[in-house]
Amino acid sequence: MEKHLSVEGMSCTHCVNRVKKYLETVGTDVSVDLEGKKADFNAGSDVDMDTVIKTICEFGFTVKEI
C-alpha cells in the first residue's frame, strides 16, 4: 500500500537520509524529497502508521500523512 507523508523541518541531506533509513526498515520503494518536504513509500498492511509518524517526529520533524 502506497503511503505519503508530509515531513516539515528537514534542512539537509542528513535529515533526508535519517528519514529514508528509518522508512526502509518498515517499507519498500522509499523516496524522500527535501525540497518537496515529503516522503513516499510502500508499506504492508501490518505497518502501524501512528508508530511511523511518532518515530519520525521523535527525530525532530513535524509529520502528517497525506
What does the pLDDT read at residue 18?
97
CATH class of domain segment(s) 2-65: alpha beta
What does the pLDDT read at residue 8?
98
Average pLDDT, the chain: 97
Kindly indicate the confidence band of residue 6, based on its pLDDT and cuts at 50, 70 and 90. Answer: very high
| Tens digits of residue pLDDT in 16-61 | 999 999 999 999 999 999 999 999 999 999 999 999 999 999 999 9
In the chain, domain spans:
2-65
DSSP the chain: -EEEEEEET--SHHHHHHHHHHHHHHEEEEEEETTTTEEEEEE-TT--HHHHHHHHHHTT-EEEE-
